[in-house]
Amino acid sequence: MKVGIVGGGQLARMLVLAGYPLGLEFRVLDPAADACAGQVARLIQSHYDDEVHLAELAAWADVVTFDFENVPAAAARILAQQSVVYPPEEALAIAQDRLLEKTLFWELGIPAPTFSTVDSLEELHDAALRVGLPAVLKTRRLGYDGKGQQVLHNAAELESAWEALGAVPLILEEFVPFEREVSVLAVRGRGGETAFYPLVDNQHRDGMLRLSQAPLTAPALEQEGFDYARRLLERLNYVGLLAIEFFVKDGHLVVNEMAPRVHNSGHWTLEGAETSQFENHLRAILGLPLGSTAAVGYSAMLNGIGDLPERAAVLATPGAHYHAYGKALRPGRKVGHVTLWATDPGSLPAGLERLQALTTG
């Protein structure tokens, strides 16, 4: 079967590598000639609004999917005219727009931060009063990895924040003083069957994910997370893998955002789960039976941001697995990750310390 992927970054690359053993063929569409998934599958170099190339991909593929959610709505529509497209267009549209996303969370009874839309400096002042400070000012669209957002601590910061971000529609969101951040990776098949990976503990710095650890043993939180994920999967008639990021506050989950795709906080599943998130996303969109999402052992995933630690030093670390994405090194860019895997969770901290020393050294 033929799978088209819009977006040719590391997520597409790992989907492709997971899909070859299933007997699948792939083409990826990306504007960049050096898109890293193009090293492992045929690349259609094309802008996301190029109807001719989108139609070419759709005509070839049995199913089309995405490695990022900011695909123009028009592109998704063109693809859907000639092929089967998963996740559904509505899920993409909602995930692209923080206002739609938060509205959906509230509609489904999923606790989310208070927020207010902001389209002028005046509205920002009003919103700051309503939401309270500190608060987070975010662009409604195209934000990722902490880009397009700013934390506001006091009223004196409003004007400069407005000047930095206000060219586009914004929302102001309650700042959640969280105890930790976690994510749920959920998958739903074409027939409506669902499966959930164990809860993941995430640590961010400067808006980017640095470290994920799984499984996080927190049964009550996990049940909350699975419940919220199930509501989203069903409401969206979702097919594929859906990632949902949460804050933990006062021992309960507060939703942050969702991503309608495989997710950085699920990379540990390559070694640490019976079926990886990549394989399960493919199984779901192709109508194949889902695989077990059970954890195998204990995993920690360290992102390589801007650079990767020296390969030989990583591989000399017991339990370490190296994942280069084939991307040129650039500050702030995710160029690979390292997974640390162990049967005994007690051995993870020492290995992590060693890997972190390599990363910053």
The interface region with its own copies, picked from 16-24, 49-57, 148-156, 258-266 by CB under 8 A, is 16-24
Q: Using the rule CB under 8 A, which residue among 297, 345, 347, 358 binds its own copies?
A: 297
Question: Tokens 């509505």 identify what position?
Answer: 90
Going by C-alpha positions, the residue among 309, 306, 303 that lies closest to residue 361 is 309
**CA torsion, ordered 302, 255, 18, 209, to nearest 10 deg:** -20
CA atoms in the 13 A half-sphere facing the CB of 144: 13
The span from the CA of 191 to the CA of 121, in Å, is: 47
Site membership for its own copies, residue 281 (CB under 8 A)? no
128 sits in which H/E element: helix 121-131
Least distance CB 339 / its own copies (angstroms):
10
> Quick one: which of 102, 283, 334, 354 contacts its own copies (CB under 8 A)?
283
Using rule CB under 8 A, residue 25 touches its own copies: yes
CB of 279 to its own copies, least distance (A): 9
What is the greatest pairwise CA distance in the chain?
A: 58
Under rule CB under 8 A, residue 220 binds its own copies? no
Residue (of 79, 10, 61) closest to 39 by Cα position: 10
Site for its own copies in 316-355 (CB under 8 A): 316, 318-319, 321-324, 326, 336, 341, 343
* 251 touching its own copies, by CB under 8 A: no
Q: Which is nearer to its own copies, 99 or 288 (CB)?
A: 288
Nearer to its own copies, 45 or 82 (CB): 45
Closest contact distance (angstroms) between CB of 336 and its own copies is: 7
Contact assessment for residue 222 and residue 199, using Cβ atoms and an 8 Å cutoff: yes
Smallest distance, Å, CB 320 to its own copies? 8
Tell me how far, at minimum, the Cβ of 280 lies from its own copies, in Å.
10
274 binds its own copies (CB under 8 A): yes
DSSP single-letter state for residue 252 = E
Report if residue 133 touches its own copies, rule: CB under 8 A: no
Q: In what order do the strands lie in the sheet with 42-45?
A: 42-45, 25-30, 2-6, 63-66, 84-85
* DSSP 8-class letter at 50: -
Question: Which of 5, 12, 17, 131 lies at the binding interface for its own copies (CB under 8 A)?
Answer: 17
Q: Residue 311 interacts with its own copies (CB under 8 A)?
A: yes
What tokens were used for 87?
Answer: 């996740």
Q: How far is the CB of 316 from its own copies (least distance, A)?
A: 4
Token match 């069957």: residue?
193
Which residues of the chain form contacts with its own copies (CB under 8 A)? 13, 17, 20-23, 25, 39-40, 274, 283, 287-289, 291-292, 296-297, 308, 311-312, 315-316, 318-319, 321-324, 326, 336, 341, 343
